[in-house]
Structure 1
Amino acid sequence: MTKNKIKEVACKQLAESGYERATLSSIAKEVGIKTPSIYAFYKNKEDLFMAVYKDLLEDYYFYITNSVQNITDGTVKEKLYQIIKELCHYHLSQPEKTASYTKLAFVLPPTLNDDVRETFSEMEVVLSELLRDIFSKGIEQEVLKNQPVDDLIASFLCLMDGIFLELIYYQEAKFKRRVEQTWSIYWNGICKKLDE
């Protein structure tokens, strides 16, 4: 379908060239259509790239939540670690999507700032609800220290953001080592007994 092909090419060009250089004309040329044809699907360049951003976030959050929901019998520690593991796997195995996401998240035209923040917040709610369930059960089962669940969610989301940034700065081997070190310190900080 042409609409999906436009988004696919826009995502690819965004990863390779950045937002400014990924023009509607270059996207149309690669898709094999005339530039005005894009307007049948998207109002303008911002509208197209917001659609790309929403797809990237939905893909990422669906991947993470689906992988955790599949380990129904897992412990609190296993479920939280699974999220970290899947975050790493997703970004390492999807370099184009990760590059596109990074460009939209960090090198954003001011006109998209509010829309991107709003979309990000909406998607984060999905993960927050999953985390709320995990943390609440962990406190109930006395595996975790009794702390406000919202604080635990915020700390875990910050951990995820930090890990994502590490991915940008380090080679894979060093990145994986740092993730393991960070996870170990994080877990020991929230669990009731060390090495539980």
Structure 2
Amino acid sequence: MSQTKIRDVALSHFASYGYEGASLSKIAEEVGIKKPTIYSHYKGKNDLFLTAVRYVFQLERRKVLSYFKMAQVKPLKEKLEGFFTMIEEGFNNSYTTKFLLRVSFFPPAALMDEVMTLANSFIDGLHRQLIKLMKYHQKQGEFAGIEIEEAALAYVTMVDGVLVELLFAGNHRFRKRVEAAFPIYWSGIHCMADKIKENRP
């Protein structure tokens, strides 16, 4: 119980103050233990931070899977558009989502390799989920002939790009980028599908 509570309190401190601003003494004080007790559960600040990061990526991965499962009966366009809304709402209302985005773009220099390994694994998982989703819709007659892996990767790239606006410039500019980029992406995918159909003997 103490280990989990330390992790959860540490996560809130890392989310609020960043890696550099978070203090093990303050974390211990909020948990209700002495600072040395933390070292009986974690090797130090780096270990505690990475534990919190791993936990957040697991939480957010479950949210993504849950979103696509709940949206299963919706048209693909609605699912993909709605994913941006899910991200935006998470950023505004969930400190775990906000922490995940911030640490993915601004990892502590000393832990960059470890954090980026986790972030890349998360992105690869999203890519795989999108491939599975798009293949399902392709079987229903959408995107005939389209390379699904490339279509999914293009979508992930677009998500990555607009997230920068959410972090740096806020909701309004994020939404403006989404409203500009997504229709072009969607039209482009369908244009490619139409051309493939036209070129078939």
Task: Answer whether TM exceeds 0.5 for this pair.
Answer: yes
Q: Which runs of 5+ in 2 are unaligned?
A: 195-201
Q: Secondary structure at the match of 2:54?
A: helix
Cα deviation code 1:125-160 (max 9, x no counterpart): 432222111222343444226332221222111111
Cα deviation code 1:26-62 (max 9, x no counterpart): 2112222111111222122111111111121122121
Shift of 1:114: 2.1
Alignment of 1:6-21 (within 5 A): 6-21=6-21
Shift of 1:99: 4.1
Q: Which runs of 5+ in 1 are unaligned?
A: none
Kept after mapping to 1: 8 A contact 2:102/2:167:
no
Alignment of 1:19-168 (within 5 A): 19-94=19-94, 96-144=95-143, 146-168=145-167
* AA aligned opposite 1:112: L
C-alpha distance in structure 2 between counterparts of 1:145 and 1:23, whole Å = 54
* AA aligned opposite 2:24: L
Kept after mapping to 2: 8 A contact 1:19/1:103:
no
Shift of 1:172: 2.5
C-alpha distance in structure 2 between counterparts of 1:103 and 1:36, whole Å = 29
Give the RMSD, CA atoms, in angstroms.
2.2
**Matched residues, number:** 192
Aligned to 1:183: 182
C-alpha distance in structure 2 between counterparts of 1:19 and 1:180, whole Å = 34
CA separation of 1:143/1:161 partners in 2, compared to 1, >3 Å: closer, same or farther?
Answer: same
Computing the radius of gyration from Cα coordinates, the structure with the larger value is 2
CA separation of 1:154/1:93 partners in 2, compared to 1, >3 Å: closer, same or farther?
Answer: same
CA separation of 1:179/1:103 partners in 2, compared to 1, >3 Å: closer, same or farther?
Answer: closer
Kept after mapping to 2: 8 A contact 1:53/1:101:
yes
Q: Secondary structure at the match of 2:21?
A: coil
- Normalising by structure 2, we get a TM-score of 0.82
Bigger relative contact order, structure 1 or 2 (CA pairs below 8 A, ≥6 apart) = 1
Shift of 1:108: 2.5
C-alpha distance in structure 2 between counterparts of 1:120 and 1:175, whole Å = 21
Which segment drifts farther, 167-176 or 181-190?
167-176
CA separation of 1:82/1:65 partners in 2, compared to 1, >3 Å: closer, same or farther?
Answer: farther
Cα deviation code 1:85-115 (max 9, x no counterpart): 2222222221x32443344223333332222
Kept after mapping to 1: 8 A contact 2:165/2:173:
no
